[in-house]
A = this chain, B = another copy of it.
């Protein structure tokens, strides 16, 4: 039974009710030609929640989603919470055994999927005994997917079910399980509560100036918390959701132009692709991007040359970097717009992860969990209302990760005297050659000045003479041929001789990247360091 005071806890569904009452006719959700107002959105999720109830979902039961970003994805989060359930977004990039592990662990009663993932969803339905029903989101390609007698129709459920009352879960009730890989072993389900995601959303509003005029383009995958948490902040602001299935430059620009997008979150590699496209496809310049106010990025630092080129292309846009992890729902620190200006008193922090957000207490701990002084490198530990409730079904791992009342991030870093957080695993993207420190980002920035470079990664290779040698793996643009001599000259005109690569690997194949778009340098380095008794970074 709900206690009266329980109704005053932070509830992620409350902003939906608020907007349905205060601004029922303003747009909540846009997908191509279709727009749903807040009144319509609230009605649809209350009906979908009714469908979940009819399928047996009760308070605390899980509902899973396997789909690309789409309008129903946003509805899935809220309908699940409205029904009292826990939302489990599934990583679409995983192989079937990985997805099966996730669902076996979470034990959802219902699985939703889009047409592109219907085949995988059927496999999962057959193998995961907890799933009682499969719901198919209609899409253009559904007809091609063959008969779907084994799946319920998403729109038909919404049409036929009566709306139910909000279960009004909140506070430290679990809202979502986001699965995240570990350094070892299988992915774990991170329990994020209503309090966790509300704390992150409230900080998002103040750090990103979000309000009811915010139009958020969801182009980063919603199954990662970096993308998924934006669903909750956009709704809290009373803004409008614009989901986009996968990043590609033309569609990205089209969405901004068409829906007057004000805010989005990307990874730097997306911006790289975007700028390449703007260079080679002149008609893209016709899109009006003047609505875009703030571009936030994470996963990896922005190469300075890329940032400057983007700024020149989008002079009205501000930039913000976010650092965080799934276990902190997710934002721990941000590097704000003032630190992204090319000149002025606040430059020089682009290699930092920014300052801890208002609700985050960050401490650098030594190996015995004792706080270290300013400037000393240790493990980044975090406390605050955004810290997860724990790992689903893993009390021991939870206790270990949250030991002594601190979330242990596993990241090494330090705080400087101005309160900026520096991550050493980023600083470690540095090559020590002949006793000199060479920062990969600086060399990469130089290489990107060559007009035929599509992408590149600078790594340290073992070298008898220098300890490490600077090496560059470079991918030319389509149809272009790159010569080592040209690249070398490009570098030598910009950076000191000892920083220039001693070795080039020029390859047509794209660089290996993580699901979040981060270049996997460890993978590039591995073959060269095999058999070395020293560890590479």
Report whether B358 and A237 are in contact in the complex, using a CB–CB cutoff of 8 Å.
yes
Contact A22 B415 (CB under 8 A): yes
- A378 to B: closest C-beta gap in Å: 14
Chain B residue at minimum C-beta to C-beta distance from A238: B358
Residues of B within 8 A of A206 (CB): 202, 205-206, 209-210
A373-404, CB < 8 A from B? 383-387, 389-390, 399, 402-403
Q: Does A359 contact B (CB under 8 A)?
A: yes
Q: Which of A7-15, A108-116, A247-255, A510-518 contacts B (4 or more CB under 8 A)?
A: A7-15
Q: How far is the CA of A18 from the CA of B332 in the complex (A)?
A: 13
Count identical subunits in the complex.
2
A289 within 8 A of B: no
Q: Complex Cα distance A383/B10, Å?
A: 10
Cα separation A360 to B360 with both chains bound (whole Å): 24
> Which of B9, B17, B205, B361 contacts A385 (CB under 8 A)?
B9
8 contacts between A and B (CB under 8 A): A5-B390, A8-B405, A10-B199, A10-B385, A14-B359, A14-B384, A22-B356, A23-B418
Whether, in the assembled complex, A190 has its beta carbon less than 8 Å from a beta carbon of chain B, the answer is: no
- Expressed in whole angstroms, the Cα–Cα distance for A405 and B195 within the complex equals 19
| A358 engages B15 (CB within 8 Å) | yes
Q: Are A399 and B358 in contact (CB under 8 A)?
A: no
- Contact residues in B for A385 (Cβ distance below 8 Å): 8-10, 198
CA A381 – CA B159 in complex, angstroms? Answer: 32
- Inter-subunit contact A415/B238 (CB<8 Å): no
Residues of B within 8 A of A238 (CB): 358
Within 8 A of B (CB), among A180-204: 195, 198-199, 202-203
Contacts of A358 in B (CB 8 A): 15, 18, 202, 205, 236-238
A363 at the interface (CB under 8 A from B): yes
Q: A residues within 8 Å of B by Cβ?
A: 2, 4-5, 7-10, 14-15, 17-18, 21-23, 168, 172, 195, 198-199, 202-203, 205-206, 209-210, 236-238, 355-356, 358-363, 383-387, 389-390, 399, 402-403, 405-407, 415, 418-419
- A7–B237 CA distance with the chains assembled, in angstroms: 28
CB pair B405–A4 under 8 Å, yes or no, is yes
Closest to A25 in B: B417
When distances are taken between beta carbons in the complex, the residues of chain B under 8 Å from A362 are 18, 21-22
If A205-B206, A206-B202, A415-B22 touch, does A4 touch B383 (CB 8 Å cutoff)? no
A406 to B168, CA, bound (A): 13
A383 and B203 in contact, given A21-B363, A363-B21 (Cβ under 8 angstroms): no
Q: How far is the CA of A203 from the CA of B237 in the complex (A)?
A: 11
In the complex, A198→B236 CA distance in Å? Answer: 16
CB distance from A200 to the nearest CB of B (A): 11
Residue of B nearest to A399 (CB): B4
Q: Which of A10, A22, A387, A402 neighbours the largest number of chain B CB atoms within 10 Å of its CB? A: A22
Q: Which residues of B contact A23 (CB under 8 A)?
A: 418-419
